[in-house]
Amino acid sequence: MMLRLLSAEFLKIRKKLLWLLVALGPVGVVGLQAVNFGLRYDYLTKQYARDLWGGLITNVSLLALPAMFIGLAIVASMSAGIEHQTNAWKMTLALPISKRQAFGAKFLLNVLLLFVSCTLLVPFTLALGWALGFAAPIPAGELLRAAYYPFLACMPFVALQSWLSVTFANQALPLTVGIIGMIAAMFGSRFPDWMPWKWPLLVNAWHEPLYSVGLGLLLGAAVFLIGMLEFARKDVK
Amino acid sequence: MANPTWILETRELTKRLGGKPVVNEVNLAIGRGEIYGFLGPNGAGKTTTIRMLLGLAKPTKGSVHIFGHDIRKERIQILRKVGSLVEYPSYYGHLSATENLEAVRRLLGVPKSRIGEVLSIVRLTKEADRAVKGYSLGMKQRLGIATALLGSPELLVLDEPTNGLDPAGIQEIRELIKSLPGSHGVTILISSHLLSEVEQMATRVGIIAKGSLIYQDGIQMLRERAKSRIRFGVSDPEAAWRLLLSHGYQADWDRRQLSVDRTDDRTVAAIVAQLVRQDHQVYRVEEETASLERIFLEMTGTEGSL
């Protein structure tokens, strides 16, 4: 059933520029770093002389984080907006599907789209590194961790934005929350460890990124469950 | 348990919004194969009732049984056999009609061939590959009906399917709906705020006003209430009225017109003869039929009269 719901979701986002947005995020992030490294090539290669790839990955991650926060808010808002536009909820939820699964499908769609975005960061970063003439070996582990750890630590926000976007027909509120999240994430390193906005930075007192990832997954699951139950409980507009 | 003769049955169905009952103890009963006209003025509680029938809204009190099963307990199994169109049609404007139906088809799990079938039933085959946002309201409405038919439902719930359509569009939807029970064997619940719209197709009607069901019976019973009267245009109606009363006729005089209940030709002739004999000038003898619409208005407008 979940697969059927997801295939319907993917059909519905056709011609909606959502895929373009998914690609545009990583293109923009890596593109800006291309400008950064292009303009300050000598300065930056001297600064990161010991680990050129590491320097590039750190810089890409730095930009990718706020992009991910605002991107996931927009993706969640657009995928929910498809239903809000003509209030298709009353049509979809009068079909023989459970409300929980309908909510789950929207959440999963957002997760998958964000996953594609984060995955695209890998080849784009590689391409930029090669173009800049960085030598092998490529730190594959570091690159993959930089792409997927923040994505996993971000789950509470994916769940929150999915929930807010399907709950409110007016997308101003979820988008505002998304923008505030983005700003908060930029100052994440100053927050105490328990603040979820800090987790995608993967910085904590134990110097173990997986703790941040684990916390993100746990809170993400909790927010998703609360959102799903609330969505199933309330009347359809 | 639910009565097996009814395909849809509600018991004391009530919905309160902010303490105020929007739907109040409604007992609907719809038999298999019927076209049930669910009537009421705007804001009477039709859509709220229909939302509860489909499990979109939860009743404050009371129950809904469809095919003998409780909607709260077996919602998904019930909805497999129900097609619906609630209020205005919902669609994905950026997609074509075919893609819209495909999105729903994937959830229903019916064969792909159904899409072509329902498109031809609502006569949208030629326009099927255009983006729906460019459709006229009538076409969107037809797409909504096609979506409702996609799962080959046994019960079709159509909430104001002709709302906002021009007379030609209304006629077209009406013909379409009338053709369904015969050719597809479905039971139809159709709501409307116009009696004239459903009286030609409904076999039974329920009338709701201010949240309460005030009438539920065959359309024939409603027609019988629409008794016609014989009206007399005379020179001195008040004197004529007294005259008729004194001769034992049940005449009515409401200070505007003089009338009697519809009766046979011989009695009418006798009344006219009586009036002429007493030197009344008779200008007109007319038969006046109260329209169903007027009865409907009387019922819904002044709830207390019933």
Is B245 part of any domain? Answer: yes
- Domain boundaries in chain A? 2-233
Residue with tokens 């680990």: A51
Helix A209-233 vs helix A155-167: crossing angle, to nearest 10: 20
In residues, how long is chain B? 306
User: End of a domain among B224, B245, B263?
Assistant: B224
Sheet holding B251-253, edge to edge: B251-253, B258-261, B228-234, B282-289
Our separate counts of H helices and E strands in chain B read: 11, 15
Instruction: Name every residue whose Cβ is closer than 8 Å to that of residue A129 and which is 6 or more positions away in sequence.
Output: A52, A53, A56, A138
How many angstroms away from the CA of B76 is the closest CA of chain A? 4
Same domain, B55 and B162: yes
Is B306 part of any domain? Answer: no
More confident residue, B284 or B305: B284
Same domain, B217 and B236: no
Query: What is the CB neighbour count within 10 angstroms for residue B263?
Result: 14
Is B10 part of any domain? Answer: yes
CB contact under 8 A, A90 and B57: no
Percent of residues in chain B assigned helix, strand, coil, to nearest 5: 40, 30, 35
Where residue B80 sits, what CATH number does that domain have? 3.40.50.300
Is B155 part of any domain? Answer: yes
Same domain, B220 and B93: yes
The pLDDT value recorded for residue B62 is 95
Enter the pTM of the model: 0.87
Is B297 part of any domain? Answer: no
Mean pLDDT score of chain B? 88
Number of domains in chain B: 2
Is B40 part of any domain? Answer: yes
A235 — contact with chain B (CB < 8 Å)?
yes
Examine the pLDDT at B149 and tell me if it is beyond 80: yes
The pLDDT value recorded for residue B1 is 47
Same domain, B244 and B206: no
Examine the pLDDT at B21 and tell me if it is beyond 80: yes
Reported as a single tens digit per residue, the pLDDT across A108-148 is: 999 999 999 999 999 999 999 999 999 878 899 999 999 99
User: End of a domain among B224, B243, B272?
Assistant: B224
Mean pLDDT score of chain A? 94
Same domain, B39 and B179: yes
How many angstroms away from the CA of A66 is the closest CA of chain B? 30
- pLDDT confidence of B287, banded at 50, 70, 90? confident
Instruction: Name every residue whose Cβ is closer than 8 Å to that of residue B304 and which is 6 or more positions away in sequence.
Output: none
- Report the alpha-carbon distance of residue A148 to residue A200 in Å, rounded: 10
CB contact under 8 A, B99 and A11: yes
Same domain, B92 and B182: yes
Same domain, B63 and B148: yes
Closest alpha carbon within chain A to B110: A4
Strand-pair category, B282-289 with B228-234: antiparallel
Is B105 part of any domain? Answer: yes
The pLDDT value recorded for residue B184 is 66
Which residues in chain A have their CB less than 8 angstroms from residue B77's CB?
Answer: 96
The pLDDT value recorded for residue A129 is 95
Same domain, B39 and B66: yes
How many angstroms away from the CA of B204 is the closest CA of chain A? 25
Domain containing residue B266? 228-289
- pLDDT confidence of B183, banded at 50, 70, 90? low
Closest alpha carbon within chain A to B75: A96
- Report the alpha-carbon distance of residue A166 to residue A228 in Å, rounded: 10
Same domain, B62 and B21: yes
Examine the pLDDT at B236 and tell me if it is beyond 70: yes
The pLDDT value recorded for residue A58 is 94
Same domain, B99 and B240: no
The pLDDT value recorded for residue A172 is 95
Same domain, B270 and B137: no
User: ipTM of this model?
Assistant: 0.90
Of A4, A88, A235, the CB nearest to B56: A235
Which residues in chain B have their CB less than 8 angstroms from residue A94's CB?
Answer: 54-56, 79, 82, 84, 86
**B206 phi/psi in degrees, rounded to 5:** -125, 135
**B259 phi/psi in degrees, rounded to 5:** -145, 160
Reported as a single tens digit per residue, the pLDDT across B193-220 is: 888 888 888 889 999 999 999 989 888 8
What is the pLDDT averaged over residues A162-181?
95
Which residues in chain A have their CB less than 8 angstroms from residue B106's CB?
Answer: 4-5, 7-8, 11
Helix A18-39 vs helix A99-131: crossing angle, to nearest 10: 30
Examine the pLDDT at B156 and tell me if it is beyond 80: yes
CB contact under 8 A, A11 and B94: no
How many angstroms away from the CA of B111 is the closest CA of chain A? 13
Instruction: Please report the DSSP string for A10-63 in residue order.
Output: HHHTTTTTHHHHHHHHHHHHHHHHHHHHHHTHHHHHHHTTT-HHHHHHHHHHHH
Reported as a single tens digit per residue, the pLDDT across B51-105 is: 999 999 999 999 999 999 999 999 999 999 999 999 888 999 999 999 999 999 9
Same domain, B233 and B187: no
Give the DSSP H or E segment for A91: helix A89-92
